[in-house]
Chain A
Amino acid sequence: MNSSKEKARTLRERARALAREPEGIEEDESHLEVVVFMLAHERYALELTHIREVYPLKELTPLPGTPDFVLGIINVRGQILSIIDIKRFFELPEKGLTNLNQVIILESEEMEFGILADEILGTKSIPASTIQASLPTLTGIRADYLKGVTGDRVVILDGEKIVSDEKMVVQ
């Protein structure tokens, strides 16, 4: 008898403990849900909002006559998608393709393409308060695509700007 009551109490306590918000995250603070990935030796992140999916890079067909930043086209379940190397925009060194390469497919109403990631590190929730707007040395296209930088130097890119940038369109 006694023990079952005790059990019930223990369970209730546990339930309460589990229901409590984990520490460090305050309820009213906003968070960015991002995919974190590597470009060369740097860590970058993109908000989930414009990401359709992440797809392994298996076979890439280069297209002659396209600008440097267009790596080529791939077959995603019967659909042809172009792949962009944003490292070119930030003058990051090329790493060569490995089996770790993944494609982050971005989409909006008018646009759809993939960007090449050297490695995907996973998804993460970043508290908005830890994001710094920018750095004084980041100008030009570096500033255009930047949403912010975190304290541990993950560069958060602005997916919205990237998909809606007309410079991306080859015509």
Chain B
Amino acid sequence: MNEEELLKKLREAFSGEADERLASLSSSLLDLEKGGGGEDKARALEVAFREAHSLKGAARSVNLTEIETICQAIEGVFAAMKRDEVSLSAGLFDLLHHCVRAIEDSLSASEGGGPDQIGELATLVSRLQEVKAGKEMKGSKRIPKEEPKAKGQKKSPPEKIEEKPREEEREKEEPAKEKPAPKPQLSQEVRESQRKPLASESVRISTAKLDLLFLKAEELVSLKLASGQHLADLKEIVRSIEIWNKRWGEIGPELRALNRMAQEGDGWDNLSGFLDWNHDFIRSLGKEIWGLTKGAEREGHTLGLMVDDLLDDMKRVTMLPFSTLLNIFPRMIREISRDQGKEVDLLIEGGDVEIDRRILEEMRDPITHLLRNSIDHGLEAPEKREKQGKPRSGTIHMNVSQTEGGKVKILIADDGVGIDLAQVKKKAASLGVMTKQEIEQLDDRDALSLILESGVSTSPIITEISGRGLGLAIAQEKVQKLGGLLSLDTAPGRGTSFRMELPVTIATFRGILVQVADRFFIVPSSNMDRTLRVHRDEIKTVENRATIPLNGKALSLVDLARVFGLNQEKDNSAGNGFLTVVVLGAGERRIAFRVDAVLGEQEVLVKSLGKQLKSVPNISGATILGSGRVVPILNVNDLLTSSPDASVQAPGLKAAEGEGEKKSILVAEDSITSRMLIKSILEGAGYLVKTAVDGSEAYTTLKTGEFDLVVSDVEMPKLDGFGLTKKIRSDKKYSEIPVILVTGLETQKDREKGIDAGANAYIVKSSFDQSNLLEVIKRMI
């Protein structure tokens, strides 16, 4: 089942679940409204609160953000009611009923509802928030009457938006919030604008169109390269003619002798005439070709300039200021810091610096990870900060600036605890990233960069935010993939700063063409440390791995042909015992690779390998040479990490995976939507899955079979997730089984409760994409 179908099925399940929950919510609202006090009220309120909460979770798991948001707001109001912070007025009930209706409408009108419904939901959300903030309701006056729905309004639900991350969606909602229902005027405006010429100085163009245009401009680069190739071919012909001319001159005396003989009349007249003609013919041909070459050179030059100009302009068109990305972070920071009980000031500078849109999109994750990392590990709790004489709230500085080398620098600095180097070293050693001795020998800077390795984390428990030791590794990988660099600095007690340097655009870079066996590859020049010729005798093995000496240090030598499983010619040392070697590096790591030939450097345009090849080991993309030949581009990062395996002659890595028995997982979850979703995700990843509808059923099921891991919701009837975890832990037989709590709510208190109960991980359900969950499971079993 592909993702789309699954989502469709889940949405169907969701809509059934939502109907029930909304009906129950409605009736408890009515109960509440009827009045009555004490227990009756409390019970109705509890039911209403629960329904809103569960619906929120279910909506989140099928990516219906608007519904999730409004449910969250409703839940918030109920929570405030429970605390008696909000008085129950007729207006408030009107509003809540209105919300229920609006959710129903939005569900019945296609997926997620049209723009009007989204707008309406957004308006309601902001009003609910006002209520929660304590603003009094003044009767039901302020509730906007429902607009009569115009026909055809749901014809274009913005499907694209659905798939985008939530932050963006919220941004899109905002304009709608300002103008709840300007429909009649709008259509009038449209009509007027059709009559008048457009006065505006900017136009909106869909990114798809821009991308297409950009692709075409990029294709011109290969045309430019091809024209360069043709010019070189022409020049080669000119050179051949010059050689011919020289040879003709050399043979001149003999020719003249032949001429004289011919004139003496031995019937060679024709031949001598033919030779003369031949000479003149080729000479004039040569002149013509020379003329053509000059023309081609001029045109090639102009073409080159124009293409470069065009591409530059195109790049500028596709550049966006950083602020478009940075805007999403203040809200994120607020949410995370509130959940963690920390106080954070985020200072952003340099939002006007422009960068390639594609880079900007790729940077969302790394920056998110770094910021989360700063809050979770860097900044201390307010009380602790005060004790240390720091201001109560921590500060995260984010500074974007343009460097002299045409690069963009992003600095993210916090004034927290800094990184505990000893802890990093310990963790790295226990993970086997390096041996203890190796780690001891590292200087502080290198040791610090260990924290960028996958799996190295100094946090004791895995949470939604961090602790898996992956965030920094992901950030590092992304940044390097874009041709940038990530580095960090820390001062114990005073904070940590991360620095990223990125290219402004990713369209072209310089690459070096190398030959391995009969194949060609491009190495990005930025990863090429140097090329060397090494004599066979200089190769020495260390623990049976080949090395060569470089600047007095040993450097690993790996056969690139072997990495790729290619058949190499038996001996490419050209008889003299010398091998061609390229030293490739990224960050601090360097490895020498043996190739057959280095053919030269040139401008390279990166193209993706297409939709079917999502990721290929050691190869990041492809480019098209001037000759039209397609050449793969090496992913040096990948090479540097995978090559140690390649130098072993055992390409049976894949076979080991997947042959083992299927692991089995028990899932406890009361919402049918979430249950289906989790089940299908886990089964999709190759696990055997059994489900239970609440904690007590889960415990019974656990006893009836063999399970390797338990995934449980927190909020469940009968026995909740915490209770289930405790029960599992108290049984000796199961005390070692990993338990992952999955929940819709995350607060510091709950997380601690999770740790106390003995859970191994605490994850917040977020959206339909649950790769998060899979990652955590993979790390445990």
Q: Show the binding face of A for B, using Cβ within 8 Å.
A: 59, 61-66, 70, 73-75, 77-82, 84, 110-113, 164, 166, 168-171
CB-CB under 8 A from A70, the residues of chain B are 612-613
User: Least Cβ distance of B306 to chain A in Å?
Assistant: 17
Contact mask for chain B residues 15-30; partner A; CB cutoff 8 A; 1 contact, 0 none = 0000000000000000
CA distance A80 to B617 in the complex (A): 17
Q: Given the interface contacts A65-B619, A166-B2, does A82 sit within 8 Å of B219 by beta carbon? A: no
Q: Kindly identify which residue among B218, B616, B628 contacts A75, using a CB–CB cutoff of 8 Å.
A: B628
Establish whether residues B609 and A78, one from each chain, have CB atoms under 8 Å apart when the complex forms: no
User: Least Cβ distance of B320 to chain A in Å?
Assistant: 25
User: Least Cβ distance of A24 to chain B in Å?
Assistant: 39
User: Least Cβ distance of A104 to chain B in Å?
Assistant: 14
CA distance A115 to B373 in the complex (A): 45
Establish whether residues B612 and A169, one from each chain, have CB atoms under 8 Å apart when the complex forms: yes
CB-CB under 8 A from B619, the residues of chain A are 63-65
CB-CB under 8 A from A66, the residues of chain B are 613, 616
Establish whether residues B614 and A61, one from each chain, have CB atoms under 8 Å apart when the complex forms: no
| Chain B residue with the shortest CB-CB distance to A171 | B614
Establish whether residues A82 and B610, one from each chain, have CB atoms under 8 Å apart when the complex forms: yes
B622 within 8 A of A: yes
B608 within 8 A of A: yes
User: Least Cβ distance of A164 to chain B in Å?
Assistant: 6
Contact mask for chain B residues 630-664; partner A; CB cutoff 8 A; 1 contact, 0 none = 11100000000000000000000000000000000
Establish whether residues B616 and A170, one from each chain, have CB atoms under 8 Å apart when the complex forms: yes
B98 within 8 A of A: no
Establish whether residues A82 and B609, one from each chain, have CB atoms under 8 Å apart when the complex forms: yes
Q: Kindly identify which residue among A78, A81, A164 contacts B610, using a CB–CB cutoff of 8 Å.
A: A81
- Number of A-B residue pairs at CB separation under 8 A: 86
| 7 pairs of A and B residues whose beta carbons are closest in the complex | A64-B564, A78-B219, A171-B614, A113-B612, A61-B630, A65-B617, A82-B612
Establish whether residues B519 and A80, one from each chain, have CB atoms under 8 Å apart when the complex forms: no
Establish whether residues B614 and A73, one from each chain, have CB atoms under 8 Å apart when the complex forms: no
Establish whether residues B629 and A73, one from each chain, have CB atoms under 8 Å apart when the complex forms: no
CB-CB under 8 A from A171, the residues of chain B are 614-615
| Chain B residue with the shortest CB-CB distance to A72 | B630
CB-CB under 8 A from A169, the residues of chain B are 612, 614
B618 within 8 A of A: yes
CA distance A170 to B617 in the complex (A): 10
Establish whether residues A164 and B2, one from each chain, have CB atoms under 8 Å apart when the complex forms: yes
B231 within 8 A of A: no
CB-CB under 8 A from B564, the residues of chain A are 64-65
List CB contacts (< 8 Å) of B394-448 with chain A.
none
Establish whether residues A80 and B2, one from each chain, have CB atoms under 8 Å apart when the complex forms: no
B491 within 8 A of A: no
CB-CB under 8 A from B222, the residues of chain A are 78
Establish whether residues A63 and B611, one from each chain, have CB atoms under 8 Å apart when the complex forms: no
Establish whether residues A63 and B613, one from each chain, have CB atoms under 8 Å apart when the complex forms: yes
CA distance A59 to B520 in the complex (A): 13
B624 within 8 A of A: yes
CA distance A169 to B617 in the complex (A): 14
| Chain A residue with the shortest CB-CB distance to B623 | A80
- 27 example contacts (A-B, Cβ-Cβ < 8 A) are as follows A59-B628, A59-B629, A61-B622, A63-B632, A64-B619, A65-B617, A66-B613, A70-B613, A73-B622, A74-B630, A77-B219, A78-B215, A78-B218, A78-B219, A79-B215, A80-B610, A82-B610, A111-B611, A112-B612, A113-B610, A113-B612, A166-B2, A168-B612, A169-B614, A170-B612, A170-B615, A171-B615
| Chain A residue with the shortest CB-CB distance to B617 | A65
B97 within 8 A of A: no
Establish whether residues B565 and A64, one from each chain, have CB atoms under 8 Å apart when the complex forms: yes
B607 within 8 A of A: yes
Extra pairs beyond A79-B607, A111-B611, A170-B613 (20, CB < 8 Å): A59-B629, A59-B630, A61-B631, A63-B613, A64-B563, A64-B566, A66-B616, A73-B610, A73-B630, A73-B632, A78-B222, A78-B624, A79-B610, A80-B608, A80-B630, A84-B612, A111-B612, A166-B2, A169-B614, A170-B615
CA distance A43 to B392 in the complex (A): 76
CB-CB under 8 A from A61, the residues of chain B are 622, 629-632
CA distance A37 to B734 in the complex (A): 59
| Chain B residue with the shortest CB-CB distance to A62 | B519
| Chain B residue with the shortest CB-CB distance to A165 | B2
Q: Given the interface contacts A63-B632, A75-B628, A166-B2, does A82 sit within 8 Å of B613 by beta carbon? A: yes
Q: How many residues of B contact A (CB 8 A)?
A: 32
CA distance A73 to B607 in the complex (A): 11
User: Least Cβ distance of A80 to chain B in Å?
Assistant: 5
CB-CB under 8 A from A164, the residues of chain B are 2
User: Least Cβ distance of B618 to chain A in Å?
Assistant: 6
CA distance A148 to B497 in the complex (A): 62
| Chain A residue with the shortest CB-CB distance to B614 | A171
List CB contacts (< 8 Å) of B1-20 with chain A.
2
User: Least Cβ distance of B411 to chain A in Å?
Assistant: 33
CA distance A84 to B237 in the complex (A): 40
CA distance A168 to B628 in the complex (A): 27
CA distance A62 to B567 in the complex (A): 13
User: Least Cβ distance of A140 to chain B in Å?
Assistant: 18
User: Least Cβ distance of A81 to chain B in Å?
Assistant: 5
| Chain A residue with the shortest CB-CB distance to B518 | A62
CB-CB under 8 A from B617, the residues of chain A are 65
User: Least Cβ distance of B744 to chain A in Å?
Assistant: 29
CB-CB under 8 A from B628, the residues of chain A are 59, 75
CB-CB under 8 A from B629, the residues of chain A are 59, 61
Establish whether residues A170 and B614, one from each chain, have CB atoms under 8 Å apart when the complex forms: yes
| Chain B residue with the shortest CB-CB distance to A81 | B610
CA distance A110 to B163 in the complex (A): 13
CB-CB under 8 A from A166, the residues of chain B are 2
CB-CB under 8 A from A111, the residues of chain B are 611-612
CA distance A84 to B613 in the complex (A): 11
CB-CB under 8 A from B611, the residues of chain A are 110-113
Establish whether residues B616 and A65, one from each chain, have CB atoms under 8 Å apart when the complex forms: yes
Q: Residue among B564, B613, B619, B628 with the most chain A CB within 10 A?
A: B613
User: Least Cβ distance of A91 to chain B in Å?
Assistant: 21
CA distance A81 to B607 in the complex (A): 10
CB-CB under 8 A from B614, the residues of chain A are 169-171
CB-CB under 8 A from B216, the residues of chain A are 78
Establish whether residues A73 and B609, one from each chain, have CB atoms under 8 Å apart when the complex forms: yes
User: Least Cβ distance of B167 to chain A in Å?
Assistant: 23
CB-CB under 8 A from B615, the residues of chain A are 170-171
| Chain A residue with the shortest CB-CB distance to B564 | A64
CA distance A80 to B630 in the complex (A): 8
CA distance A170 to B519 in the complex (A): 21
CA distance A100 to B60 in the complex (A): 52
CB-CB under 8 A from A62, the residues of chain B are 519
Establish whether residues B612 and A80, one from each chain, have CB atoms under 8 Å apart when the complex forms: no
Q: Residue among A75, A84, A169 with the most chain B CB within 10 A?
A: A75
CA distance A89 to B609 in the complex (A): 22
CB-CB under 8 A from A59, the residues of chain B are 628-630
User: Least Cβ distance of B582 to chain A in Å?
Assistant: 17
User: Least Cβ distance of B455 to chain A in Å?
Assistant: 21
CA distance A42 to B563 in the complex (A): 37
CA distance A171 to B614 in the complex (A): 5
User: Least Cβ distance of B775 to chain A in Å?
Assistant: 15
CA distance A168 to B565 in the complex (A): 22
| Chain A residue with the shortest CB-CB distance to B624 | A75
User: Least Cβ distance of B560 to chain A in Å?
Assistant: 10
List CB contacts (< 8 Å) of B508-522 with chain A.
519
CA distance A75 to B608 in the complex (A): 11
CA distance A77 to B212 in the complex (A): 13
CA distance A166 to B612 in the complex (A): 9
Contact mask for chain B residues 555-584; partner A; CB cutoff 8 A; 1 contact, 0 none = 000000001111000000000000000000
User: Least Cβ distance of B310 to chain A in Å?
Assistant: 15
